[in-house]
Structure 1
Amino acid sequence: MPPSQDQIIDICTVLSEQEQLNVTVKEAGKGFLIAGTGAAVGTLLGGPAGLFIGGTIGSAVAAYNCRDKCKSVVDIIRYDMTPDQQRRLAENVKVALQSFTAEDLLIVLPMVINSDPIKAAVVKEIVRFLTSEMGMAVSYT
């Protein structure tokens, strides 16, 4: 019997948590500009010491602005995805796992965390789905 959508979503959340997958809101460019501007202004005003102080202050401001911009993939799957998105993710994971025999999946699904090839296929599909279907940037921590 093939796994249900809920079972596949549960597996996706477990693997996302194990791999510590996170989605970052695309704020990296903004943080770079803030930190760089702080360093440049500091250098112009204070020379080498100003570079240190401006860079430090710019980086602190950038970090403050980017707080709460990183979200766990587990939270995205559980709370932010619509039922249709969850269904499509489950279907895509099923397609990604078609290269494995049904017998392998029945044996391995309860212990999917110990099967590197299956785990890699599922994680790869989660990352691909979030990147291409939802336009998110996924990072491993």
Structure 2
Amino acid sequence: MPGRVDEVIELLRRISKEKGMKAAVKHSGRAALVVGAMALLGGLMGGPPGIAVGGALGGLLGAWMKSGQFRPVPQILLELPPTEKKKLYDEAMDILKHLDWTDVVQLTTLVMGNASLQQKLAGVVTNYLSRELRAVIQYGK
């Protein structure tokens, strides 16, 4: 089974590369930490008005830090832990279960020759990343 998981993940990586998929993972925890730290620092230096100013500056800094940080989806899929790869595999197999394949080369040939399957599998990747990682997906090369 682990070999099959890796083969399907490799196929999903290929599809996401073909479609030029990139994802920006939202790190709301980091942004909240920056806002909180800046508000605390502002409060220590300027009292109640300093909290407001520090919070506002922290919010701007947090937003700036995270803007435009898109990473290639194939790289994100490669770095997923085994349990997450298995979840993604299970979702992809709902689409691939009717195909008869023995190795990744045969699977890739079958899927890359079928635009509908490619679109469905790209949708699986998009939905998974959006739901599990709260990522924003961008298409294009």
Matching residue of 1:102: 100
Runs of 4+ in structure 1 deviating by more than 3 angstroms, as ranges, are 64-68, 100-103
Instruction: Describe the SS at the equivalent of 2:23.
Output: strand
Code of the aligned partner of 1:23: A
Q: 1:82 to 1:139 in 2, by over 3 A?
A: same
Closer/same/farther in 2, CA of residues 109 and 85 from structure 1, 3 Å limit:
same
Structure 2 regions of 5+ residues with no counterpart? 28-63
State the one-letter code of the partner of 1:114: G
- Summarize the alignment of residues 112-123 of structure 1 with structure 2, pairs less than 5 Å apart: 112-123=111-122
Mapped to 2, the partners of 1:133 and 1:65 lie a distance apart of: 22
Deviates more, 1:107-116 or 1:10-19: 107-116
RMSD, aligned CA: 3.1
* Cα distance, 1:74 vs structure 2: 0.6
Q: Corresponding residue for 1:70?
A: 70
* CA distances 1:27-66 after superposition (whole Å, capped 9, x unpaired): 9xxxxxxxxxxxxxxxxxxxxxxxxxxxxxxxxxxxx856
Compute the displacement of 1:125 (Å): 0.4
Task: State the SS of the aligned residue for 2:123.
Answer: helix
| Residue identity opposite 1:8 in structure 2 | V
> How far apart, CA to CA, are the structure 2 residues paired with 1:21 and 1:4?
23
Amino acid at match of 1:78: L
Q: Quickly say closer, same or farther: Cα 1:4–1:68, change in 2 above 3 A.
A: same
Q: Offset of 1:122 from its aligned partner? A: 0.9
1:47-95 deviations in Å (ceiling 9; x for gaps): xxxxxxxxxxxxxxxxx8567611000110012x111111111111001
Closer, same or farther: CA 77–101 of 1 in aligned 2, 3 Å = closer
| 3-state secondary structure, aligned to 2:137 | strand
Cα deviations by residue, 1:8-41 (Å, 9 ceiling, x for unpaired): 01101111100000002459xxxxxxxxxxxxxx
How far apart in 1 are the matches of 2:105 and 2:69? 38
| Corresponding residue of 1:5 | 5
The AA in structure 2 aligned to 1:124 is G
Distance (Å, rounded) in 2 between the aligned partners of 1:137 and 1:88? 19
Output the amino acid matched with 1:10.
E
- Aligned-pair identity in percent equals 15
Distance 1:21 1:128, change over 3 A: same
Q: CA deviation at 1:118?
A: 1.3
Q: Give secondary structure in 1 for the equivalent of 2:134.
A: coil
Gap regions ≥5 residues in structure 1: 28-63
